[in-house]
Amino acid sequence: MWLDSGDTSSFKTYEDFEAAVKRQLDYLIDVNCRGTVIIEKVFRDVSPTPFMSLFVDGCMEKGRDVMDGGAVLYAYQIHGTLSQSFNTPLGEMVGATPDGRAAYASLSDGMSPSQGMDRNSPTAIIKSVSKINVENMSLGMAHNFKLSPQFIATEEGRNAVIALLSTASLLGNAQMQFNCVDNAELRAAQKKPEEHRDLIVRVADYSAFFVELCKEVQDEIISRTTIDRN
């Protein structure tokens, strides 16, 4: 589905490279928009949402589903981070990236940093995320943290989490989600799932039993940076 930009070794200047990247982006955005419209038409015809439509202005008055133009205000395109909930399968379609991510590895989940790249501090992370305007985003606003159980076992650790949440709110950040589990338990669950059937983790904008996730998603959760007392 990529546009043929020619052999990169033929580029003489950075401007040639930049122009090729922009052509790729223009092409991919156009393909994405066309695909989105097709998907929405399929949802409209095959999977209407009458319950949701009850709560959207205009649908009852028009007698039309929200996916069929019933809403007073309706946007065909939405602003957000698509990698939320899909970061592992999407990563399997994406080559290596300049941040050091290997080809076909998971993408970052939602607004969270790429796995292992958040090397400074939780405060630095929320300050970086606060640079993103979330006021008109409609998906992908989740920012995931993984805490070690030892971190919140003390009053100091619990107060630190409260301060982190309060500061993120003041900065205008959106949804923040937490896992409180250590990697040793997650790896033990991979080896003996029958002994860890009640282990629940936060994946993206949903929670799931860890042992019911595919190994690729399990490994992605394990690869996330764990915040501990050190």
Q: Are 190 and 225 in contact (CB under 8 A)?
A: no
- Highest-pLDDT range among 32-41, 58-67, 87-96, 181-190: 181-190
Q: Are 88 and 96 in contact (CB under 8 A)?
A: no
Taking the model in full, what pTM does it have? 0.66
Q: Is 64 helix (H, G, I), strand (E, B) or coil?
A: coil
Mean pLDDT, range 11-23, rounded to an integer: 91
Per residue in 210-225, pLDDT tens?
999 999 999 999 998 8
More confident position, 4 or 124: 124
Q: How confident is the model at residue 78 (pLDDT cuts 50, 70, 90)?
A: low
Given the structure tokens 């971190």, which residue do they identify?
151
Residues in the chain: 230
Alpha-carbon dihedral 115, 119, 120, 124, rounded to 10 degrees? -10
Per residue in 127-160, pLDDT tens?
988 888 777 676 677 888 899 999 888 899 999 9
**Degrees (nearest 5) of the Cα angle 136, 141, 143?**
150
Helix residue ranges, H only, 84-172: 87-91, 122-129, 155-170
